[in-house]
Amino acid sequence: DHYHRYRDDVALMAELGLTAYRFSVSWPRVQPTGRGPAVQVGLDFYRRLVDELLAHGIKPAVTLYHWDLPQELEDAGGWPERETALRFAEYAHLVGEALGDRVEQWITLNEPWCSAFLGYGSGV
pLDDT (0 to 100) of residue 114: 86
Give the integer Cα–Cα distance in Å for 15 and 55.
Answer: 13
Question: What does the angle CA 72 – CA 6 – CA 94 come to, to the nearest 5 degrees?
Answer: 40
- Cβ proximity of 63 and 23 under 8 Å: yes
pLDDT (0 to 100) of residue 122: 80
Q: Fill in the amino acid letter for 5.
A: R
- Cβ proximity of 59 and 20 under 8 Å: yes
Question: At 34, is the pLDDT very low, low, confident or very high (cuts 50, 70, 90)?
Answer: very high
What are φ and ψ of residue 65, in 5° steps? -140, 125
User: Across residues 6-33, what is the average pLDDT?
Assistant: 98
Give every CB contact of residue 7 below 8 A, 6+ residues apart in sequence: 52
Question: At 113, is the pLDDT very low, low, confident or very high (cuts 50, 70, 90)?
Answer: confident
User: The pTM is what?
Assistant: 0.93
- Cβ proximity of 108 and 65 under 8 Å: yes
Strand pairing class (20-24; 105-109): unpaired
Domain range list for the chain: 2-111
CATH T-level assignment (fold) for domain 2-111: TIM Barrel (3.20.20)
**Does residue 123 carry a pLDDT above 80?**
no
